Structure 1
Amino acid sequence: MLDTSRPNFRAVGWRVVTAAERLQELQRRIPDLADEWTGHPVVRARKETPDQFELSLEDWSRSQSASARTLTYLASEVLHHARTALDYCAYHLVWLDSGAARSGTKFPLVNEASKWGKEKRRSIPGVTAEHAEWIGEIQPFTGTDWSGWLLELSNRDKHHTAAEVVPTYRCRVNPAERFADPLGDAAYFGFQVEDSRLELNIAPAMTDPARGAGLPLEATLAGILHGVVDLSNRFLTEIGYTPIEFSTPGHQSS
């Protein structure tokens, strides 16, 4: 049983572990998804603007893909558990620093520096100046990628619709080699596609159209979890808890 009579940060670790398990399951399911998505890229350009390529997907079966839906909801769970871990951290940190449990706390994440002071006072009242500084250092307005991704994606996932897994293709074409349009439009040239590969992104960004199809799925979710772990461990080790250990291929956190 979890001791609820005093600040207890163990639930932070539980949430992070669950998020990591969901991410690992998502990674295991990606090959299933690739097998189900049978589309292939078509590259074409209008004859009057042959250097302005258009990419489309022929015979695309994404809407019927059960694995696509599974990945979307696994990604949603990763985001939910990561955000909740931070909220737990904020609640118990306020309790620890102020000496009293308080309702209405949450982990503040803001995009604008001008809103930080108000949000800090409202969300984490009573925390020490040092702890508030640690939280301020990783705010999206400081340029911290992982917290900005978490704010954007979790807000979309919670309030609008699930943070969708979006397929994209990368490929090479030789612009000097032009063929008849594969879709049969005489106003277009077609180009031979080479070295095409499927890549998965997460949710088109709401605030930055320059990101196009979204953020890289696995790297973004892993980056968020590493950020949550690294920040949580600053508090946990100071208090005397064993730090959370979490690793993904190419990364290590402890």
Structure 2
Amino acid sequence: MRHKYIQHIAQVALAMALLGGTTSCEDFLNREPMSKLSPETYYTSAAQLEANLNDEYPNILPSYGQWDYGIYGADNDTDNQTDDYIHDRFTTDQWRVPHTEDNNWKFERIYRTNFFLSQVMPKFGTAMDGSQNTIGGTLADVKHYIGEMYFLRAYEYFKKLQLFGDFPIITEPLVDEAASLVEASKRQPRNEVARFIIEDLERAAEFMKDVDKATTRINRDVALLIKSRVALFEASWLKNFAGTAFVP
């Protein structure tokens, strides 16, 4: 009898060990890979927001981290300045339409800024005092980095305004579905694009007002400076093209 009891105890212990091993194995196999990031687990700290922004700086800001003229280079081959080479536009019959597609009509950076904001703003909430915020780190840093992304989206749109005038206004990351993409690609009047840019810059300044970052980062004063440039650019357009088909 005692032998059967001991045997029964051993069988129960073995079953429990096997069950525990199976559960542990399943838990391990169901874990997210450490090399894989997901929106649900990311964008939860100020440091993560900063890392995402650092990746966008050189892609959106002119000459950031590069040895070139930046925004000053935009005046090359105009009546303001020339480069160290002669552009084809000054040679008879040489200013031609390019045969290859350029990168101007691309929405990758706009998508990235929209994706960041679509993930971060629900975690921050609608209250500017941070009472709804669930992102780790100091509140001032979290707000500042949100402001930086609003600035970057505005700056990317300012480049599009200067290139195209009328341009689609997209504020959410779009799904890869033809009908919705075609609908979203409809160009909006340039004055509405300019207003959208200014609103983003005002929002950026509001979020960034509580902290001063190092001079290598965007700050509130930069947002207000670019806001004035956007307003001057659009006002000059409206004045110079008043009464033409460009300004209904």
Greater fraction of residues in helix: 2
Higher relative contact order (CA 8 A, sep 6+): 1
In our comparison, the structure showing a higher alpha carbon Rg is 2
More strand by share: 1
State TM-score, norm by structure 1.
0.29
The TM-score normalised by the length of structure 2 is 0.29
